[in-house]
Amino acid sequence: MRRFIVVGHEAVTSDDFRLDDLAGSTGRLDILLRCVNSAFMLSHGVRTDTELFLCLQGPPARPRVVRLVGSELRHLNPDERSTAALIRKALALRMQGRSTPGIYLEMRGLKGLLEEYGRDLVYLREDGEDLRAAVLPDDPAFLLSDHRDLTPEEETAVLDLQPRIVSVGPRSLHADHCIVLVNNELDRV
Amino acid sequence: MRRFIVVGHEAVTSDDFRLDDLAGSTGRLDILLRCVNSAFMLSHGVRTDTELFLCLQGPPARPRVVRLVGSELRHLNPDERSTAALIRKALALRMQGRSTPGIYLEMRGLKGLLEEYGRDLVYLREDGEDLRAAVLPDDPAFLLSDHRDLTPEEETAVLDLQPRIVSVGPRSLHADHCIVLVNNELDRV
């Protein structure tokens, strides 16, 4: 199993947003939508060995996690708008549960995810060891951030877990591109 | 200079489409929009050493190419909708010319592109040589297709040029993911 955790520092935690303004009024949820595509999309199907945790830190509500489970997903299309509709449906639940096949709302934040997956954590950071040379855990959980770096508090919590720190290459890339590169690397093992 | 040519077999050749139905009524223009993101987007800026040719084969009009030039691009954002608005503006020109900085409409199709860039062509195909082992031209032009393979006629025209045939890895991926992987490989040279 490969897992990706993406921190959306200002990503909306309610379903009160418009599908035609995804890059504007959602706290950059659009970045996380592209991560959904990168994590799961194959030419003909979906990666069933993958889980993705979108860590939405709000406002307006407290942090929530939308969890996507590749082996259960249905109705996932590659475009941002239809993925946004699925995420919005999850946020509309307002309590823990499944919204559509393979998509779950969880009432926790990054701290809860680090407690569960911290042992196999791989922190993607520009100054890390080259992904191609890195020795990865068997069930890695890759941690990425949106357009903002982790806060000092988040970074401390992550580093306390002594994660592997890994870089995808010489250029600084968006989270969704990093996920494509990680998936390719794992495909080659 | 690195170039990408993406064939959109049914991609719309007029500006008569709606930004809230990009994956529906545009002949899968959404795939090409994601290729724009993959070709150009860095964390902080745009790849200035890159050109992208979107080969739109229609309907309703005859084939057109929308050419994006990284060194001239302004106003490019990573989301599909705003990129679609830029492409639509180019298609609205209806004759050869520049619509916005770095974006040009050209009244030609794949044949014209192959004539110009055929010498340095790298054809991305699942059964190709591994990208990581391939010897690439100095100014490569990578040819990719949308959700459909090249037609037999297109394939013949391409193979007549004796291109390098290259694969990005063991899984079959969407064109935008392939571009991310190619860019990373070239970044590492």
Average pLDDT, chain B: 97
Residue B109, both tokens = 């199709």
Q: How confident is the model at residue B162 (pLDDT cuts 50, 70, 90)?
A: very high
Q: Between chains, do B177 and A172 touch, taking CB under 8 Å as contact?
A: no
pLDDT of residue B94 exceeding 90, the answer is no
pLDDT value of residue A94: 83
Q: CA-nearest residue of chain A to B77? A: A23
The per-residue pLDDT for range B4-32, each reduced to its tens digit, is 999 999 999 999 999 999 999 999 999 99
DSSP A117-179: HGGGEEEEEEEEEETTTPPPPSS-EEEEESSSPPPHHHHHHHHTT--EEEE--SS---HHHHH
Q: Between chains, do B31 and A80 touch, taking CB under 8 Å as contact?
A: no
- pTM beyond 0.95: the answer is yes
Q: How confident is the model at residue B173 (pLDDT cuts 50, 70, 90)?
A: very high
Contact yes or no for B26/A81 (Cβ under 8 A) = no
The per-residue pLDDT for range A22-31, each reduced to its tens digit, is 999 999 999 9
pLDDT of residue A132 exceeding 90, the answer is yes
- Is A25 part of the contact surface with chain B (CB cutoff 8 Å)? no
- ipTM confidence score: 0.97
Q: How confident is the model at residue B171 (pLDDT cuts 50, 70, 90)?
A: very high
B155 vs chain A: nearest CA distance in angstroms? Answer: 19
The per-residue pLDDT for range A172-182, each reduced to its tens digit, is 999 999 999 99
The per-residue pLDDT for range A28-87, each reduced to its tens digit, is 999 999 999 999 999 999 999 999 999 999 999 999 999 999 999 998 999 999 999 999
Q: CA-nearest residue of chain A to B82? A: A23
pLDDT value of residue A102: 98
- Is A60 part of the contact surface with chain B (CB cutoff 8 Å)? no
Interface test with B, best of A33, A79, A127 (most B CBs within 10 A): A79
Residue A134, both tokens = 């890195």
The per-residue pLDDT for range B104-156, each reduced to its tens digit, is 999 999 999 999 999 999 999 999 999 999 999 999 999 999 999 999 999 99
